[in-house]
A and B are shown apart, each in its own frame.
Chain A
Amino acid sequence: MIETVDVLLPVMVCVVLSLLSLVIFKRIRKAGRRKALLMVAWSAGAFTAIAASVLNIAVKYYGAPAPLPFLGFSLTSGPDAIHSSSFLVDAMSVYVALIFVPVAGVIFTYSLVHNGLEDKPSERYHALVLMLVGATLGVLFSGDLLTLFIFWEIAAGGSSLLMLYKNDISSMHATLKYLIMIILASAFIVYGLSIVFGISGSLNFWAVKVAVEGMADKTLFLLAFLFIVTGYAIEAAIVPFHMWLPDAYTTAPASTSAFLSALVDQGSYYVLLRVLIFVFSPPAVFDWRPMLAIFAAMTMVVGNFLALGERNLKKLIANICIADVGYNLVAIASDTALGIMGNLYFFLVGGITTALAFMVVGIMNQHGIKSLEDLSGLGKRMPLTSLALLVGFLSFTGIPPLAGFFAKYLTFTAALQSNMWWLAVIGIVMSVIQAAYLLRIIMIMYGRPPREETRKREPRLLLVLVFTLAAAIVFLGAYPTLVLDLIDKVIQQLPLMPA
């Protein structure tokens, strides 16, 4: 049986590790030649601990599948329980936690080695990253809107500090932009939450859902809903609130961008999914599907066209992240089991692929390769790095047998299923445009003559990490059942939600 302690354990482990890292890094820095080895060992140890705490929940949960749609936990018991912070465990939160931890582990190891090459390894940076992982895991297991909000703001605040890591003028600028958006967003959300609390007397997902459905006059709820969703839309970088994302992801160090895209970005979809489908599920407040579909179309179009015109490699990938937001929204807007399946698969695939791309860009940036022109002939000069980028790009494009294909297939089929064929058509047309600009880069990498003949030295350890993700992309694309099996549990729980 799962106890409250089990649910909180991953978060607590992350906090402890984060504090420990402040101490341990001072040691590692003095270690001299064995530094790299020690760092990898540390990260492996840390993430084994986090993984163990998550697996603990997974094993217990899947060991005795509950008949309930989710298991709820409150910090206090008795009549006050409804006001206290609460947590939940259901197949979806367990699944997302299970996929986040290994991806985060790979990126964390990368950041240890990568930043270590650039500057001295900073203990604050890694403490922050671990804190961020903890906050994201907290988001997953949150059982009420306020707990969700708090953990999510911790994640956002942590992200802004990570963006600031380089401490130069452009990163300050980008971080400021991000912070303003985030503060605006949280103001919206808090305002919405206060209305919800005022009406329903609770912020618990379950209680709110029941209250919404029992209410005759839903005007106030509608207002609250709009506030909350606008707030989360800003944080998820839905067009027209996307302006902060390219700047933030471009100025941050590559490992940070990888983290943000793989955890925070995917986390923001999770939050949307939770709030839209599990709490304000249509038509309880109002049918938000057409509205969301329009935003999805806008986000796909704007993201892909921004990427089409972009000459800076890193910014281009940041723009792909915006396009990915759009694809995810398509799946959410469809509000079908297939769509949720697509979303959950996309969390993993989108996270891995963007992380892979940012990690490769990080390696390339070290050699001064920044713009698309710098890439010419790179297929010969850095064959392995280019190959990894090729795999990532083809997965973005949605070419089988790479994982990105199933993500797109599921989302667009879901759109068809909920009768939004126009959205599916826009989606696939945008997907062709995406293929065009990504293929152009592949063409530059392999088709153009190299600028200089010398072969660059490719960092081996980093490439091992990059190719771990690339292998995952290929494997998940060729045999997606591995993950779809887990997702199937989530789908089976959907009908259990009260209509």
Chain B
Amino acid sequence: MGNILWMPFLLPVLASPFVYWVGKKSGKLASTIVVAITLFNIVILLTTIPSVLDSADHKYIESYTWIPELHSSLTFFVDGISLPITIVTLVLITCGTLFSVDYMKGRKSIGEYYFLVCLLSVGLVGVFITSNLMLFYFCWEMMLIPSFFLIGHWGYKDAYKVAFKFFIFTHAGAVFVLLGIGAIFIVTNDLDLFSAKAALLTASPDVVRWLLISLTGGFAVKMAIVPVHMWLPDAHSEAPAPMSALLSGVIISAGAYAIFRICLETVLPAVFPSGFGTHYLYGLAIFGLVSAFLGSFVALVETDIKRIIAYSSIAHMGYVLFGFALFPFEVAMIGTILHIVTHALSKGLFFLSSGAVMKELEIRDIREMGGLASAMPVTAFSSVTAGLSIAGIPPFACFISEFMIFVGAFQVINADGFFLIPTILMLVATVFSLAYSLRYVSKIFLGQRKIEKVGAAGTWMRVAMAILVVLIVCIGVWPGIFVQLISTTQFIP
């Protein structure tokens, strides 16, 4: 195997000026280029599957010199966890771009739009495929600037204000991440995740405790855990639909992934002996529980088509955080990582379908909609798929992952009685998610038709949604390869 992993990271950067130039003339051509690059990157990542499955340490790593003075190098890697998430990210970028062809029709500055999508994809992919903390932070912030402009410029009402709120919240979180990264650098004199892990074990537990708190707090903002979730409902609902799909599908998942990769896998082992680790996990469980409940409740009473989905994202990040609290039990961890993947796909589809509805209707209150199923069959079918998947109904993707989380939770209860009540409460919360999903679908697509003239969604919109529907059902029926990949990882406390 040669040097290939730099491509998902650098190709979009290199292509971005070209995309901008092309996009000024033809939006369709620009989106074709973006899709082509993304598909190419998916192929690149797929070729690493054998080495992840078969190599001794189940990783594929390549490294380039960058800033030796700060112990930073361009280290790219994939393992059983980052590979599925990265592939799903690229799939969502592809679908979002296809969706944009129709969605952005008639809008201004299309060149800038695809240029920013290119830059955004660098950050999104980079976060998952680097093991160097400096590069990680680069990508972490690279998600921010393009998102700011994508929300601000092409969003709905007061878009720039919403984008501003989004930026300030997540940037405030990011600087605490930076503080944690700086602390890791000081303590270990290293910025590589895998070698820092060993060095942290010998560090003073007191320092490690604080840096763990700082990092987790920073990531929790991106993940929109209650009480730092305030940016999410606004940002996700005012952003243009493809952007919402990426925000809810990938960007908050990046927070979840980072908590797993950095907080749990790298830093947490250093504080387990002092007993702080257990309390930390309890804390995660409680915050996860609160997020799941609050998110589901608000989603149940919200009437804005996109805010329902946005609050459901808060709820689902709550599930993920709860799942992380069960670290290091294997079934639960596999379930949680799988849930990041399945939730990303389902939520992406959910937002795309709502975008299709909004594009046609230009209203957002679900009480004014109804009976759209006959006019927009593909969109309706996609919404049902996404809704049922989010609600955790078989045979859709999220069922498998939620099921595994709960199986894991019951295993953990045997070892630690603390988790009994939270697990039961989490089960109650899943009922709410079924309730708001059904309410969403029935209010919009079933019942009396309230608006007469409604056209079907654009062709490319339907294609984008169809791809996601197929994937969600496939993973729901046969999660094999994903579970196989994820389970190559050993979860060591």
The interface residues of chain A lying within 8 Å CB-to-CB of B61 are none
The interface residues of chain A lying within 8 Å CB-to-CB of B161 are 443
Q: Is B137's CB under 8 angstroms from A400's CB?
A: yes
Nearest-neighbour CB distance to chain B for A153, whole angstroms, equals: 35
Q: Is B152's CB under 8 angstroms from A413's CB?
A: no
- In the assembled complex, B138 has its CB within 8 A of some CB on chain A: yes
Q: Is B183's CB under 8 angstroms from A484's CB?
A: no
Contact digits for A401-433, partner B, Cβ 8 Å, 1 yes 0 no: 100010001001100110001001100110110
Which of B66, B145, B175 has the most chain A CB atoms closer than 10 A to its own CB?
B175
Within 8 A of A (CB), among B106-156: 137-138, 141-142, 144-145, 148-149, 152-153
The interface residues of chain A lying within 8 Å CB-to-CB of B137 are 400
**Interface residues of B, dominant DSSP:** helix
Nearest-neighbour CB distance to chain B for A330, whole angstroms, equals: 12
Contact digits for B94-114, partner A, Cβ 8 Å, 1 yes 0 no: 000000000000000000000
CA distance A405 to B185 in the complex (A): 16
Q: Is A431's CB under 8 angstroms from B175's CB?
A: yes
Nearest-neighbour CB distance to chain A for B97, whole angstroms, equals: 23
- In the assembled complex, A446 has its CB within 8 A of some CB on chain B: yes
CA distance A424 to B144 in the complex (A): 22
CA distance A412 to B68 in the complex (A): 19
The interface residues of chain A lying within 8 Å CB-to-CB of B183 are 416
Q: Is B164's CB under 8 angstroms from A443's CB?
A: yes
Q: Is B178's CB under 8 angstroms from A428's CB?
A: yes
Q: Is A485's CB under 8 angstroms from B142's CB?
A: no
Of A398, A447, A479, the contact of B152 (CB 8 Å cutoff): A447
Q: Is A443's CB under 8 angstroms from B175's CB?
A: no
The interface residues of chain B lying within 8 Å CB-to-CB of A413 are 182, 185-186
Nearest-neighbour CB distance to chain A for B370, whole angstroms, equals: 35
| Segment touching B, from A163-171, A252-260, A434-442 | A434-442
CA distance A424 to B183 in the complex (A): 10
CA distance A435 to B163 in the complex (A): 13
Of B69, B153, B159, B171, the contact of A435 (CB 8 Å cutoff): B171
**Given A400-B141, A432-B172, is A484 in contact with B67 using a C-beta cutoff of 8 Å?**
yes
Within 8 A of B (CB), among A453-499: 479-481, 484-485, 487-488
Q: Is B144's CB under 8 angstroms from A416's CB?
A: no
Nearest-neighbour CB distance to chain A for B386, whole angstroms, equals: 31
CA distance A399 to B168 in the complex (A): 12
- In the assembled complex, B160 has its CB within 8 A of some CB on chain A: yes
Nearest-neighbour CB distance to chain A for B184, whole angstroms, equals: 10
The interface residues of chain A lying within 8 Å CB-to-CB of B148 are 439
CA distance A28 to B70 in the complex (A): 48
Q: Is A484's CB under 8 angstroms from B164's CB?
A: no
The interface residues of chain B lying within 8 Å CB-to-CB of A485 are 69
- In the assembled complex, A357 has its CB within 8 A of some CB on chain B: no
- How many chain-B residues does the 8 Å CB contact rule pick out? 33
Q: Is B182's CB under 8 angstroms from A484's CB?
A: no
CA distance A397 to B179 in the complex (A): 15
- In the assembled complex, B167 has its CB within 8 A of some CB on chain A: yes
**Given A416-B182, A484-B69, is A400 in contact with B167 using a C-beta cutoff of 8 Å?**
no
The interface residues of chain A lying within 8 Å CB-to-CB of B68 are 481
Contact digits for A376-407, partner B, Cβ 8 Å, 1 yes 0 no: 00000000000000000010011111000100
- In the assembled complex, A341 has its CB within 8 A of some CB on chain B: yes
Q: Is B171's CB under 8 angstroms from A432's CB?
A: yes
Q: Is B182's CB under 8 angstroms from A447's CB?
A: no
Which of A417, A428, A429 has the most chain B CB atoms closer than 10 A to its own CB?
A428
The interface residues of chain B lying within 8 Å CB-to-CB of A417 are 186
Q: Is B69's CB under 8 angstroms from A446's CB?
A: no
Within 8 A of A (CB), among B183-233: 183, 185-186, 210
Report which A residues bind B (CB closer than 8 A).
341, 394, 397-401, 405, 409, 412-413, 416-417, 421, 424-425, 428-429, 431-432, 435-436, 439-440, 443, 446-447, 479-481, 484-485, 487-488
Report which B residues bind A (CB closer than 8 A).
66-70, 137-138, 141-142, 144-145, 148-149, 152-153, 159-161, 163-164, 167-168, 171-172, 175-176, 178-179, 182-183, 185-186, 210
Given contacts A401-B138, A412-B182, A413-B182, 11 further A-B contacts (CB under 8 A): A397-B171, A409-B178, A416-B186, A421-B210, A424-B182, A443-B164, A446-B153, A480-B67, A480-B70, A484-B69, A487-B69
27 A-B residue pairs with CB within 8 Å: A341-B69, A400-B137, A400-B141, A409-B178, A412-B182, A413-B182, A413-B186, A416-B186, A424-B179, A425-B179, A428-B175, A428-B176, A428-B178, A432-B168, A432-B171, A432-B172, A435-B167, A435-B168, A435-B171, A439-B167, A439-B168, A443-B160, A443-B163, A446-B149, A481-B67, A481-B68, A484-B70
